[in-house]
Structures are given as C-alpha cells and as structure tokens.
Structure 1
Amino acid sequence: MKLTANWSYPTAIRFGAGRIREIGEACVALGMKHPLLVTDKGLARLKITADTLDLLEDAGLGRAMFAEVDPNPTEKNLEAGIRAYREGEHDGVIAFGGGSGLDLGKMVAFMAGQSRPVWDFEDVGDWWTRANADAIAPIIAVPTTAGTGSEVGRASVLTNSQTHEKKIIFHPKVLPSIVLSDPELSVGMPKAITAGTGMDAFAHCLEAYCSPHFHPMSQGIAVEGMRLVKLYLPRAYEDGGDLEARGQMLAAAAMGAVAFQKGLGAIHAISHPIGAMHNTHHGTTNAVVMQEVLKFNRAAIEGRIGDLANYLGISGGFEGFFNYVGELNAALGIPENLTTLGVKSPDLDALVAQALADPSVGGNPVEMTAENTRALIEACL
C-alpha cells in the first residue's frame, strides 16, 4: 500500500515520502517570501536540515535558520527567536524538528507580533483572546520525530526558566496552516529517541482514551492511534529505515495530538514538572510513569481498558494491557523507574504542587490530591 495522501483534518497535511520537496510551494501558498526555519541545536547540524535550507534557497526564499532551542524550550529561547525573526524581517516560520523545534517555532510566529508577555497567553480560561490574532505569522510545520504531534496542535509547551515550571501556551491560530509529514526525515532518529517519542504518542492516545470528558471523535482516534503504535513502533525501533513503520508512526503521533483535545491526565501532570526540574526527555518520562498511573486509575478505567485490550488483540483485560505496557517498555529500552531515568533527590513538595497545578490534572479519571499524587510520584521513583 502506497503511503501518500493529502489530509485537511485537523489542518492541511501533505503526507508521504519525499513531500519535503514541496516546502517552497507551501511557503508560496501562505504568502511567505522570507521564512525563518526554527529548529533545535542537534538538528541544525544534520543533512536533512541542510537539504531543506537548500530547497528554500532554490525556491528563492533564502536560507535563514534559528537553532538556539533547548530540549525543553524556555522563554529565553523564545526571546532570542523573536529577535532573530524581527531583525531578519521574516514573514513566516517553518517549525522544523521534534517537539522542541516545533513548539518554539510556533511560539516565535505567535509572539513576534504581540506586545504582552508570553505567560499572559497560558492555556487558562479565555486568556488566548488577549492576543492580537491578526499579528500571528503564518506557520508551516515539518515533524522529524513521531511523538509530540505538535505539528497539528494549537498550543506549545514552554518552560519558565525562573520557576522551572512548564506552561502550555494556547491560541487557535498557532495551529500550523500546512504540515509536511515526510517519513524520510525521521529515518535517522536514534533508537532511544524513536522509543521515547513513540511512547509519547502512545501516552497521548491512552490518556485521551481514559479521560472522562466527552469527545467521541477524539476517543475513536485515540484507539486507532494506539493500534498503530502497537504495530509499528517495534518495527521502527528495530529498523530505522523501515519507511512504512516511520510513516505510520508519524500518523500515530498526529493522531495522539488530535486525540488529547479530549484531555490528558496524571501521566502528563507528573512528566511536565519532572521534565522541567530534571530536564528528562518528555516522551521517555511518560513511558516510565505509565504503568504506575494505570494502577492509580484502575478503579475508574478497568472496564474501558478491557475493551481497549480486546480491540488491540491483547488478552487478559486490564492485567493483560498493564503487562503489555511493561513488556513494550522493556523491549524499547525504557528505564524501569524515575530514579533509573536520572531523577535524583527530587523535591517532592515542589513536584506535587506543580503536578496539581498542571492543566492535565483535569482530565485524569481519578481525582488527584496532594496525598495520592505524592504517593504516585514516590511509586514512580
């Protein structure tokens, strides 16, 4: 089966091997004449990035790049990116990379025309209406990992470098107008990143599926997203050049980000502060805490997980699914607990406080309190 398609849900997605060659045409379609490519420091040195800059230059669009992006992007990275955007007199952003590059690229396009500080647009109530929507620059997203799904998201995660808190910044127009989803760009992903990003996609789908909120469309997408991860993540992990597996994982990642419009939960409520304070890889952290969160939520989700296990071809209901997650983590080389991941001498009081303040808390099937959240984090350690 040929994996090539044009999708308009949730935005215009040009999916398939080699679609990066349409980058110039995509820029023209959005009226960009001098775009800024935003990516992370590691990707900036790779051939796929140089090749993309060549394509832009060949199309008469220059080859401007900003790459001062940390693995967990901060407002300092954002300030530098905005400065590069304004000084270069750019008229749009190409957000290129994994979650960090995509999230920061979207924020540069969002904030370059705003006058208020970025924290004024946190995903709280209707704070997004404070923004000048007309000043948001056009965005093209090019994912090179299959995890966050930020290419189809209306928000970005930004770490406050002063408080070490991760904040979700939201605006409907932060959703990229065009996505180039090309599995050839993800072929060079190291095994550890393939595993961590793949489990991030799985966590998005799983938490959306378990969320008590009503969103049948996201519910269905979450189920199929998990099926794709089950089938194709082990293949992508074992053979990085398996284009079918890489493509299906890109699809699963996008599906996870669409699905979590239904809500996230304790997995993300814990992994956000852990990542902010200990600089761990987000998707890998999600995978590490996943089994403990399943146990934490068991009373509320046991029947639903049983249905999911049946759909995925996993026998044994909740127990079978729980064991499957553990076996998948082990096969992917995921650390057994947060301590093994590198979380040493954590400030439990701060972690609990930040977890309970995280927006993901509202989507957890079991109410999270200071007492049970502390016990949950201790179990993850």
Structure 2
Amino acid sequence: DFEDIGDWFSRADVNGIAPIIAVPTTSGTGSEVGRAGVITDESNHTKKIIFHPKIMPSITLCDPELTIGLPPHITAATGMDALSHSLEAYCAPGFHPQADGIAIEGIRLVKENLEAATREGTNISARANMMAAALMGATAFQKGLGGMHAMAHPIGAVFDAHHGLINAVVMPYVLKFNREAIEVRIARLADYLGIEGGFDGFLAWILEIRASLGIKHSLAEIGVDIAKIDELAAMAVVDPSAGGNPIALTIENITPLFRDAILGEL
C-alpha cells in the first residue's frame, strides 16, 4: 500500500488536516471519494502524489447540475479520465472482486453517456450518469492504476497538458502493450458491454469513441516533444501508478511505448 512506504504515513500531522467537504464540478478525477492529492512542482516540472485517509472527504455533494456549464472538450477529456480509472483498475493485477464490479459498471456508464454529455451539455441524465461514473472510477482504482497514469503524470508535469486528455490519447497504446496479460479480462468486459470481437472489438471501440469526441491520436498532436522521451520514461517507471500495470514497466519497454504514443504508431 502507498501508505506503508517507509515512515511517510506516520509523518502526517493528522491534527492539522481539516475535515473536507467535496463538491465536484467535473466528472472525471473522482477526487471527491479519494484519499489522494497531487502537487505539481512547477520549478522542476514534476508531480508528487500524496496519500492519507484524512484527505478522504467527510461529506461529498454530487450535483450533476454543477457540470452543465462544462465546455464540450473538458466534458470529453474528464469523461475519458473517468474511463481510464475504471479501465486501469479492472486490468490491475490482484484479487478485488468489489473493485472489478464497480469498474465494469463505471465503464458501461461512460460508454452509454459520455458522447451524449459532450454533445448535449444540458442533458441532465447523461451528466448524472457521468458523475456517477467518475466517483465509481476513483472508488475502483483503490485496487490500482497502471501505465496510462504512469505516462500521464510526467507528461502533464513537463508539458502542462490536460490529464484526462493525456489518458485518452495513450489509452489504446497501453491496452495494446498489456494485451498478453489482459486479453481474457478485456474479452469478458467487452461481452458485458455488448461489444463484439473480444479484445480487438474493445480496442476498436476505444478508438471510435476517441475520434467521436475529437481527441487526437498521438501525443505529438497535443504538444509532446519526442526529444523529452528519456526524461518522461525515467519519471514514468518510478511513478506510483506504474506498480499497478499488468506487465512490469521498465525503461526498456516504456521508452518504445512512449515513442509509439508520441508518433501515433499503434
């Protein structure tokens, strides 16, 4: 568990952490049900993730009407972030049937509502379902995340790109990279979602929904410079999310993964 690394957990001044009431205004991160926070160090372009049970909000008020004003591109990117949370949690190794169940239902909600929420911003039913999908994704990823987030954190820190957008772009590349370890699980998920073709059918749906939402196919198209690939790879393999990837991430295998995602070679 992240909280058991060294004595980090015991260093927190629990009396200095005030109760938190969370009121989400996007449907993506799921921070309203999480015990983590992210701090960006702009001086050296790194992101640090902190964990503590006291960061978990005491009260969360989820009102989908607060997301009505979100512009389409933010609705799409945050929604794909919610999808990445449930998808990586579902694919993470380990035994956690409860998280898996929450994750696959969260993915279904995204599949059936994200495009409507993006195109019909006042569709309160779609907005409500996406808000549910977001908090379900963050609940499920207590099981773990993986390569998408391990790549997204350094990219976001170095290039100041939107986190959900990065996850959306790298999603098919990471799925393909992990195929050997997750093919059976993804086929089961595809069947639940009514997608034909097993792993290949699910990957095709990911590409289709990205295109439908206007999301770019490569990292280069959102401003990621391949000249930074070594720096990004070094940061990704030590990211806390890397440990949840179904295939162990190393400099040797994540560098070509970054290259493919930057150049758009799937």
Match of 1:272 among 125, 143, 153: 153
Q: Deviations over 1:198-247 (max 9, x none)?
A: 00000000000000022221111101000000011011011000001101
Distance 1:368 1:345, change over 3 A: closer
Code of the aligned partner of 1:224: E
1:363 alignment partner AA: G
Tell me which amino acid in the other structure corresponds to 2:54.
Answer: K
Name the structure, 1 or 2, with higher relative contact order (CA <8 Å, separation 6+). 2
Structure 2, unaligned runs of 5 or more: none
Aligned to 1:136: 17
Which residue of 226, 242, 247 maps to 1:361? 242
Which residue among 257, 260, 266 is the counterpart of 2:141? 260
Amino acid at match of 2:162: H
2:100 to 216, 219, 225: 219
Measured after TM superposition, the shift of residue 122 of structure 1 is 8.4
TM-score by length of 2: 0.95
Does 1:194 pair with 2:75? yes
The SS at the match of 2:187 is helix
Q: CA deviation at 1:136?
A: 1.1
SS of alignment partner, residue 163 of structure 1: coil
**Aligned counterparts of 2:94 and 2:7: Cα–Cα separation in 1:** 19
| Residue-by-residue CA offset, 1:235-285 (whole Å, 9 max, x unaligned) | 101100000110110010000001000000000000100000000000010
Paired AA for residue 58 in structure 2: S
Per the alignment, residue 183 of structure 1 pairs with 64
Q: 1:168 is paired with a residue of what secondary structure? A: strand
Q: Which has the larger radius of gyration?
A: 1
SS in 1 for 2:141: helix
- The partner residue of 2:115 within 230, 234, 237 is 234
More strand per residue: 1
CA drift of 1:371 comes to: 1.0
Percent of residue pairs bearing the same amino acid type = 59
Alpha-carbon contact 1:123-1:169 (below 8 Å) kept: no
**CA 1:171–1:196 in 2, change beyond 3 Å: closer, same or farther?**
same
Q: Is contact 1:183-1:243 (8 Å) kept? A: yes
Q: Deviations over 1:187-208 (max 9, x none)?
A: 0100000000000000000000
What are structure 1's unaligned runs of at least 5 residues?
1-120
Letter in 2 for 1:222: A
SS at match of 2:60: strand
Query: 1-side partners of 2:6 and 2:138: how far apart?
Result: 20
Partners of 2:44 and 2:126 in 1: CA distance: 39
Counterparts of 1:335-374 in structure 2 under 5 Å? 335-374=216-255
Change (3 A) 1:123 1:155: farther
The residue correspondences of 1:279-294 to structure 2 (distance < 5 A) are 279-294=160-175
1:126 and 1:238 map into 2 onto residues whose CA distance is 48
